[in-house]
C-alpha cells in the first residue's frame, strides 16, 4: 500500500462581506472558466499540458498532466494518496481548499471510468472533505464532475472536484438568480423516463453478455 501523506496549506481568511464589485468579478471569472473553458488560458505547470480526449495510445497518457503528476513528473501539492487515486490541491482554485480527486489510471471521462474506480474515488469524499472543512473553516462544500467539453471539462482525465463553501461567498452566479425549471407536460416526462429506462435495460443486457464472454471459453 502507498504511504498516506497529508500536506495542508494555511490560507488567509477572506472577508465575509464582499463588495458588489468583488462579487461581480468572481462571478464573471467562474462563468468564463466553466461556461467557456476553451477561452481559459493556463500558465501554471499543472495545467500546461492537457491530455487528449482519447486514451487508446501511450502518447495521450504521456501528454496528460494528471498522469504526469501520478508518475511524479509534474509538481502538485498532494493531500492524500492510495493505490487507486490521489487528491491534490487545484492550482486554479475557486475557493480556499479547492481540491481534486484523481484516479491513478487514465480514463478520459466519467462514463469511460470503471465502476470500481468511481467507487474508490467517491468513497474518499467524506474522509477528505472533512479534513478540508476543518483546515479551511468552511462548513459546506460542492462535489463536482465536469464530464465532456460541453459540461466544462478541460483536462480529459476524469477527476472529481471538492469545493469548500461559506455562506454568501457568491461563488456560483446561479445561486443569486431565480430558478426557472423547464416546463414539461406529463406526457413528455413519461416519454423521457421510458427512453432512459430502455437505455438502462440495453446497457444492462450488454454488460451481462460481455461478462458471459469473459468467463465462458470460446467455442471453436
What's the angle, vertex CA 101, arms to CA 95 and CA 104, rounded to 5?
150
CA dihedral 102, 139, 146, 81 (to 10 degrees): 0
CA-based torsion, 90, 146, 45, 15: positive or negative: negative
pLDDT for position 123? 96
Domain 20-176, CATH: 3.30.428.10
Is-catalytic flag, 34? Answer: no
Q: Give the model confidence (pLDDT) of 102-118 as tens digits.
A: 999 999 999 999 999 99
The kind and range of the H/E element at 30 are: helix 20-35
CA 201 to chain CA centroid, nearest Å = 27
Q: Averaged over 69-87, what is the pLDDT? A: 94
pLDDT for position 9? 39
**Could you give the CA distance from residue 208 to residue 219 in angstroms, rounded to a whole number?**
18
pLDDT for position 22? 58
Closest CA to 127 of 177, 176, 178, 85: 85
* Segments making up each domain of the chain, as ranges: 20-176, 184-220
pLDDT for position 194? 93
- Among candidate residues 34, 98, 106, 159, the one labeled active-site is 159
Q: How far is CA 84 from CA 93, 117, 118, in A?
A: 24, 7, 10
pTM of the model: 0.66
Query: 128 vs 206, which has greater pLDDT?
Result: 128
Amino acid at each position: 500500500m502507498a504511504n498516506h501523506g497529508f500536506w495542508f496549506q494555511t490560507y488567509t481568511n477572506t472577508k465575509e462581506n464582499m463588495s458588489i464589485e468583488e462579487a461581480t468579478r468572481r462571478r464573471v471569472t467562474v462563468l468564463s472558466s466553466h461556461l467557456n473553458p476553451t477561452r481559459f488560458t493556463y500558465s501554471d505547470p499543472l495545467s500546461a499540458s492537457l491530455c487528449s480526449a482519447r486514451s487508446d495510445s501511450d502518447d495521450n497518457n504521456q501528454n496528460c498532466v494528471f498522469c504526469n503528476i501520478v508518475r511524479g513528473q509534474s509538481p502538485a501539492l498532494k493531500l492524500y494518496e492510495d493505490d487507486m487515486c490521489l487528491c491534490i490541491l487545484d492550482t486554479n482554485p475557486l475557493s480556499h481548499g479547492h481540491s481534486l480527486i484523481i484516479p491513478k489510471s487514465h480514463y478520459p471521462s466519467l462514463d469511460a471510468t470503471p465502476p470500481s474506480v468511481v467507487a474508490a474515488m467517491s468513497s474518499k469524499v467524506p474522509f477528505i472533505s472533512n479534513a478540508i472543512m476543518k483546515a479551511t473553516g468552511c462548513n459546506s462544500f460542492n462535489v463536482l464532475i465536469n464530464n465532456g467539453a460541453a459540461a466544462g471539462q478541460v483536462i480529459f482525465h476524469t477527476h472529481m472536484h471538492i469545493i469548500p463553501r461559506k455562506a454568501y461567498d457568491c461563488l456560483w452566479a446561479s445561486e443569486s438568480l431565480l430558478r426557472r425549471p423547464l416546463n414539461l407536460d406529463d406526457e413528455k416526462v413519461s416519454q423521457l423516463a421510458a427512453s432512459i429506462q430502455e437505455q438502462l435495460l440495453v446497457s444492462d443486457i450488454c454488460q451481462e453478455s460481455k461478462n458471459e464472454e469473459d468467463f465462458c471459453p470460446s467455442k471453436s
